Structure 1
Amino acid sequence: MKIIINPQPITKENFSKFGDMITTADIKPIEINEGYAKRFDGIANLNTSKDNGETTICIFSALKRSFPMKIDMMEKHPLGSQAFIPMRQTTFLVLVAPEGNKPDLNKIEAFIVPPEIGVNYNPGTWHFPLIATEDMNFLVVDRKGSGDNLVIEHLDKEEIILKY
């Protein structure tokens, strides 16, 4: 089976079945710090408390990927959401499939995430690990705690290619 995936621009609507597009667009801020800052609430639905999990913030230092690239595995985190926020202006890609026992290869989608945008995967969303278009650090909001929160599905028998 050969599948070619061409990413599309991300929107809140087309990504909503996989999680949240993290952006301040369309959110009315609250002025704080005597008007020197604005606070944007409700930009992502973090969900890390299943089975007594806790929220952790970490930094992933990602290396630039080469395209077209072979997709040889997908992973999911059934016990918690996982958010990726670039630490400087960059474009990155996400490749996802709906929640299920295994990734549904007929429902794989890829998105181009432009500068000033992040993503938050719902618990159980299948995804390929971070796809950076340049060497880049990402702030990651993740779950830590007991339980098996990483499921990997190897896709060695399939030929799945992500073009960009």
Structure 2
Amino acid sequence: MTTALRQLHIEPLTREAFAPYGEVIEVSDAARHFTINDGNTERYHDLAHIDPGPDGRAIVSIFRGLARTLPLPVTLMERHPRGSQAFVPLQGRPYLVVVAPAGAPPAPDDLSVFLCQGNQGVNYAAGVWHHPLLALEATSDFLIIDRSGPGDNCDVVPLPETREIPALDL
């Protein structure tokens, strides 16, 4: 007998809803912005607190994520305790983030799922639990700003009970 997995609720990514986990990186009237370059460029300023932690340095990478198929079981979470980790999509495709508050390893009921639009990035605060990259639709590239430096900076834990991200219409 197969037991149905409890499904997670997917909500739209907003600054307010994501605030406990970090920052949303996007062009928005809510962000501080001003004109530069002789009036030819609008600068959306200081959108995320990049935290390389003590003895760390900020690095820039590109992650290429394969498209995930939904529904998707969520069996593990990871965190980077020594620094933040920012993800910015490069191809304008939607993607998902699964997060849980920093601190002790998350219980399944601690998980939140956000549908991010292709013009929205996220910056996970140091220690925030999150699922590995969840590209949708097609293989997708993401600009990543995170920490390099001494010490282990990736903890991975299995969830004590699997949850499922349901299928959704994009």
TM-score, L = length of structure 2: 0.90
By how many angstroms is 1:132 displaced? 0.4
- Counterpart in the other structure of 1:141: 145
Runs of at least 4 residues of structure 1 off by over 3 A? none
Per-residue Cα deviation, 1:91-134 (whole angstroms, up to 9, x for no partner):
10000111112113221100000121110001011000010002
Q: Give the partner amino acid of 1:66.
A: T
TM-score, L = length of structure 1: 0.93
Say which SS state the counterpart of residue 124 (structure 1) adopts: coil
**Which of 148, 151, 154 is residue 158 of structure 2 equivalent to?**
154
**Cα RMSD, aligned residues only:** 1.4
- Counterpart in the other structure of 1:11: 14
Q: Give the partner amino acid of 1:128.
A: H
Give the gaps of 5 or more residues in structure 1.
Answer: none
Please give the alpha-carbon distance, in whole angstroms, between the structure 2 residues aligned to 1:39 and 1:118.
16
For residues 30-45 of structure 1, the aligned pairs below 5 Å read 30-45=34-49
Determine if the alignment matches structure 1 residue 55 to structure 2 residue 88.
no
Please give the alpha-carbon distance, in whole angstroms, between the structure 1 residues aligned to 2:59 and 2:10.
29
Identity %: 34
Give the gaps of 5 or more residues in structure 2.
Answer: none
Determine if the alignment matches structure 1 residue 46 to structure 2 residue 70.
no
Aligned length: 162
